């Protein structure tokens, strides 16, 4: 394996592939940190936006790899990452020894380990770096980064990682970050299910659910989900956010990891069924807090702000 140079603004050339809501915000923070940045995305508007801010055109995943020292990915799912890395005009096609790939996508842990092994054959290091903190954390550069990979690669990439996040935990070898992201998602989904049931219970009894939330935030039930997701539900601000369809995808990844490890995970299985029903109810593109609408609907309660379903 070639020696990896520590990332340095003004010196290290960075490529970014995948400019959705999260990716565009992270790429912008890389630019703000002073790194030379090349970008690639399947649709053009986000690319054009970042070009106006100082980024340069990457042309293709291979083009990004050809001109970069470190390549960052932010893509929807495992097949997308595989295609960008190993498909036609993919990163691997132009990768040279010493290249570092940092994948901020949320994908399969087992696939990530396999991708890392394939890239290692070319002298390329893969860091899995799924993130938590949502669009606001991406914009503010305060994401929590769950890191899997070699100590040397992560140490070298840390100045770049600090441009996108405020918390960085090295969890183990390649794939460990993705496994912990599954833990993150299953805890959020399970907590959200309980919060949605609590809101429905209050509504059925004529108790102000907003005041219930206020009371619970002062005690042991307080959580990020109660603080933020419950407020989105109560305020009916259900444009994503984080789409329900993506949470369902992430819960399936958690179940896959649990099956591989022989882990008993009934709560995760139930959460996946709840989000399957939510997506099938026409709310797959709404925020995950829209699970509360499904719970209220199945409880025979009138649904407010149904116009949010788009």
Q: Note the pLDDT tens digit of each residue in 110-165.
A: 999 999 999 999 999 999 999 999 899 999 999 999 999 999 999 999 999 999 99
Both 201 and 261 in one domain: the answer is yes
User: Nearest-CA neighbor of 36 among 1, 3, 69?
Assistant: 69
Mean pLDDT of 93-109: 97
Q: Single out the residue in 143, 173, 203 at which a domain terminates.
A: 173
Sequence-distant (6+) residues with CB within 8 A of 30 are: 14, 16, 37, 72, 160, 163, 164
Backbone torsion region of residue 175, taken as left when φ is above 0, otherwise alpha when ψ lies between -120 and 50, otherwise beta = left
pLDDT on residue 106: 97
Alpha carbon distances (Å) from 47 to 24, 27, 41, 129: 9, 10, 6, 22
Read off the pLDDT band of 206 (50, 70, 90): very high
Read off the pLDDT band of 241 (50, 70, 90): confident
pLDDT on residue 304: 66
Instruction: Classify residue 166 by its DSSP letter.
Output: E
Examine the pLDDT at 277 and tell me if it is beyond 70.
Answer: yes
Number of H helices, E strands in the chain: 15, 9
Q: Catalytic residues, which ones?
A: 181
Q: What is the model's pTM?
A: 0.92
pLDDT on residue 309: 41
Both 153 and 231 in one domain: the answer is no
Backbone torsion region of residue 128, taken as left when φ is above 0, otherwise alpha when ψ lies between -120 and 50, otherwise beta = beta
User: Does 1 fall in a domain?
Assistant: no
Both 145 and 262 in one domain: the answer is no
Contact indicator for 17, 84 with CB cutoff of 8 Å: yes
Both 227 and 98 in one domain: the answer is no
Residue 211, SS3?
A: helix
pLDDT on residue 52: 97
User: Nearest-CA neighbor of 102 among 36, 26, 193, 31?
Assistant: 26
Residue 296's domain is classified under what CATH number?
1.10.1040.10
Both 19 and 166 in one domain: the answer is yes
Both 137 and 34 in one domain: the answer is yes
Q: Single out the residue in 140, 173, 206 at which a domain terminates.
A: 173
Q: Single out the residue in 153, 173, 193 at which a domain terminates.
A: 173
Cis peptide leading into residue 241 (ω within 30°): yes
């Amino acid at each position: 394996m070639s020696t990896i140079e520590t990332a340095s603004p003004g010196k290290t050339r960075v490529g970014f592939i995948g400019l959705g809501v999260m990716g565009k915000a992270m790429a912008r923070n890389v630019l703000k940190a002073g790194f030379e940045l090349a970008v690639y995305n399947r649709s053009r508007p986000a690319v054009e936006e970042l070009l106006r801010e100082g980024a340069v055109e990457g042309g293709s995943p291979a083009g990004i790899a050809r001109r970069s020292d470190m390549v960052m990915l932010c893509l929807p799912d495992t097949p997308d990452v595989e295609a960008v890395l190993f498909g036609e005009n993919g990163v691997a096609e132009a990768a040279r020894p010493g290249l570092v790939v940092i994948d901020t996508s949320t994908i399969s842990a087992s696939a990530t380990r396999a991708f890392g092994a394939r890239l290692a054959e070319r002298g390329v290091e893969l860091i899995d770096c799924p993130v938590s903190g949502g669009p606001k954390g991406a914009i503010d550069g305060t994401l929590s980064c769950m890191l899997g990979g070699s100590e040397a690669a992560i140490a070298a990439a840390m100045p770049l990682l600090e441009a996108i996040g405020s918390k960085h935990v090295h969890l183990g070898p390649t794939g460990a970050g993705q496994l912990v992201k599954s833990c993150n998602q299953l805890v959020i989904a399970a907590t959200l299910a309980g919060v949605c049931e609590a809101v429905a219970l209050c509504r059925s009894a004529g108790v102000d659910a907003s005041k219930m939330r206020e009371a619970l935030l002062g005690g042991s039930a307080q959580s990020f989900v109660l603080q933020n997701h419950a407020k989105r539900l109560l305020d009916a601000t259900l444009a994503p956010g984080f789409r329900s369809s993506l949470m369902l995808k992430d819960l399936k990844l958690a179940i896959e990891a649990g099956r591989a490890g022989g882990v008993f995970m009934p709560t995760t299985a139930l959460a996946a069924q709840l989000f399957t029903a939510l997506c099938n109810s026409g709310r797959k593109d709404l925020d995950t807090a829209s699970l509360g609408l499904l719970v209220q609907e199945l409880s025979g309660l009138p649904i407010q702000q149904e116009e949010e379903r788009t």
